[in-house]
Structure 1
């Protein structure tokens, strides 16, 4: 069964203004972020607002009905979404990764039919990771796809199912009867698909990064995609895209810290008795702290923007068959890795500095100011910076290339 027509729920982008209305939408989403944290309310309604605005089409070409952003502009939107609500930003990462994989394919019926669904407003999740895999980042699966009549049955369990609770369809990595890896794209609520929102991380609590189970889920032949050639240069940049995406969210959170510290200090009416002035906003110590936070936000934003430009250059070189494409790809990989090692540290430091500009009231649960540190630390733990620093050093000293896999 070929992907049929989907109900058009995403707004068409305004001609020449692909981001029209986004600023107001992000402001609306940001307003309720702390309250959602307090009341344990996942942002389903906010994700629907983004869907209807057309967030899923950011990278889809204008000619195909999308918003047509280049990579550098796209990552800036990711950063801004991370400022508004990093849960939503991370929950969309697998969708954007799927769109990138489609854009690498030549135009054709299969590619275009899935892009049509993206343009119609559908969001795509992913089910790839399994806790039984011997090493993180190794592609391996015990999820099985077996033939059944004129279709297939899918059975298995996946963890770190980020975004699946918000998705319309899930891209599932499974092993076929000939031991080949395949991607099955199944409706997120088809019979046999079970979402266990059992992610209990201290941060990024509403990303839906828990378990997705597949109990003999019916899969049609046209819902299968080949897993792809591991030597495909474009695919080799997929991990770089994914890693820079997380770092960019952290940069967005750092900007949120900057905004929150301004509000926090402006609301303080009392200084400490040993302060130099009456109002905290005129206290030199507080001003220095706020200045450091602002500088850190500027640095984090600049760093991820520079890495995004390197990634865009690598994509362009690969697309044109440039003879220096391999060098461009290596530069992009290490740019993303270097960005992570610095922005991770900037992020956690800045989230702690926020409390130096406040008083004891800043630790009250209402404003949920601690969520910034928890969210940054959770995102940074996705792959520890120490591993990246060692490999960066090996490359600097010995020209060693990054290892294949999911983390570069």
Structure 2
């Protein structure tokens, strides 16, 4: 079957009105900490979640490049929403890349029909590095799921949740197991207890599983040994979201300055928009938004190349996968610093008026700082430096936990 993605114009016509509607209430949602159920519903109705689902499965068949361009635009409207949907799009990509042909079709059909998938991966506390406390186990011939996850991003908005679990009959160093359950299943409890100072509407709280029944076909094992595009997929969501925040910073700075009449006695213009120093700040903010989007597009281009080879049935070389992984790391480092700087520089365009809580201009720094704290950038910089100096292969599979003390 020929692979014919939609045109960029078709996607813009479909989604830009939705993004505009979302942007209208973004600052107020943030101010009131009102979860974005309505906004998620508008995206669902427009088919946004099915962007990457192939047309033959009922989706829109968009390319990776098109997906991430839209993620930048959505992040400009409200940066909470791309992160809330990161697990969903990551799941869709995993279905396309790592599920077998027999496993793939029913999950793609669910997404095409409007299902949203959430995340339950990370466990809080001092569990051992590389081990999970959340388990699937057999009892009286049935599979059951028990455990607790934190940072369950997007799960309060989701219909299904993908739960990373330990199972006794597989080696966690070789295999990762994903259990897929409905969020309204008996034994599933979702708690809105994310208390970070940024990205507060991403529904990133605790999810508990108490002997939740799981169908055998909904337990998926995938390898943890070879190179994969999935880490770049997930990282690019953060990069694209930061690029969208950079655009929102520029937008809000311009909107703040243009109507202002008050100036400082030691300023350099009759009104702020004519002050060359203010113009310089706006130019710096605009340039940051431009470069951040370019970096995101460069990573997306690499993922697009991988996707086209996959569709043609061509093998994916480790060299290509490593190249895209390194691109994502380099983009993360540069974009993080640039956008955090822009989110601070924003306040140079005005005085105390810019600090009014009703404007919520602080949300751009808080949200960017929160995104930058995921997959800590200092470790990505070290990996890239090690590769440049020593040719060391990047690690595609990693986790968090407490490292066991070295034995004597």
TM-score computed with the length of structure 1 as normaliser? 0.90
8 Å CA contact retained: 2:224, 2:397: no
Q: Deviation at 1:255? A: 0.3
Q: Deviation at 1:220? A: 2.2
Q: Secondary structure at the match of 2:236?
A: helix
Give the aligned partner of residue 129 of structure 1: 122
Give the aligned partner of residue 3 of structure 1: none
Match of 2:254 among 244, 259, 262: 262
Give the aligned partner of residue 146 of structure 1: 137
Task: Provide the C-alpha distance between the structure 1 equivalents of 2:208 and 2:99, rounded to a whole number of angstroms.
Answer: 32
Give the aligned partner of residue 79 of structure 1: 72
Give the aligned partner of residue 198 of structure 1: 193
2:58 equivalent to 1:65: yes
Q: Deviation at 1:62? A: 1.7
Give the aligned partner of residue 172 of structure 1: 163
Q: Deviation at 1:286? A: 0.4
Task: Provide the C-alpha distance between the structure 1 equivalents of 2:353 and 2:312, rounded to a whole number of angstroms.
Answer: 56
8 Å CA contact retained: 2:120, 2:149: yes
The alpha-carbon distance between structure 1 residues 239 and 139, as it changes in their structure 2 partners (threshold 3 A), is: farther
Task: Provide the C-alpha distance between the structure 2 equivalents of 1:165 and 1:102, rounded to a whole number of angstroms.
Answer: 22
Q: CA RMSD in A?
A: 2.2
Q: Deviation at 1:319? A: 5.7
Give the aligned partner of residue 21 of structure 1: 14
Task: Provide the C-alpha distance between the structure 2 equivalents of 1:84 and 1:150, rounded to a whole number of angstroms.
Answer: 48
2:230 equivalent to 1:238: yes
Task: Provide the C-alpha distance between the structure 2 equivalents of 1:16 and 1:359, rounded to a whole number of angstroms.
Answer: 40
Q: Deviation at 1:134? A: 4.9
8 Å CA contact retained: 1:162, 1:207: yes
Give the aligned partner of residue 321 of structure 2: 329
**Within 5 A, what are the aligned runs for 1:365-384?**
365-384=357-376
8 Å CA contact retained: 1:246, 1:379: yes
More off after superposition, 188-197 vs 160-169? 188-197
1:77-96 CA-partner distances (Å, limit 9, x unpaired): 11111111111110100111
Gapped regions of structure 1 (runs ≥ 5):
1-12
Q: Secondary structure at the match of 2:258?
A: helix
Q: Secondary structure at the match of 2:202?
A: coil
Task: Provide the C-alpha distance between the structure 2 equivalents of 1:134 and 1:219, rounded to a whole number of angstroms.
Answer: 24
Task: Provide the C-alpha distance between the structure 2 equivalents of 1:133 and 1:99, rounded to a whole number of angstroms.
Answer: 31
Give the aligned partner of residue 88 of structure 2: 95
Give the aligned partner of residue 160 of structure 1: 151
Give the aligned partner of residue 356 of structure 1: 348
The alpha-carbon distance between structure 1 residues 197 and 327, as it changes in their structure 2 partners (threshold 3 A), is: same
Match of 1:272 among 264, 269, 274: 264
8 Å CA contact retained: 2:98, 2:222: no
Q: Deviation at 1:21? A: 2.4
Give the aligned partner of residue 6 of structure 1: none
Give the aligned partner of residue 5 of structure 1: none
Task: Provide the C-alpha distance between the structure 1 equivalents of 2:301 and 2:288, rounded to a whole number of angstroms.
Answer: 20
Give the aligned partner of residue 402 of structure 2: none
The alpha-carbon distance between structure 1 residues 78 and 397, as it changes in their structure 2 partners (threshold 3 A), is: same
List 4+ stretches of structure 1 deviating above 6 A: 13-16
2:236 equivalent to 1:214: no
Task: Provide the C-alpha distance between the structure 2 equivalents of 1:295 and 1:14, rounded to a whole number of angstroms.
Answer: 27
Task: Provide the C-alpha distance between the structure 1 equivalents of 2:339 and 2:396, rounded to a whole number of angstroms.
Answer: 27
Task: Provide the C-alpha distance between the structure 1 equivalents of 2:157 and 2:141, rounded to a whole number of angstroms.
Answer: 30
TM-score computed with the length of structure 2 as normaliser? 0.90
2:285 equivalent to 1:290: no
Task: Provide the C-alpha distance between the structure 2 equivalents of 1:178 and 1:244, rounded to a whole number of angstroms.
Answer: 33
Gapped regions of structure 2 (runs ≥ 5):
1-5, 400-408
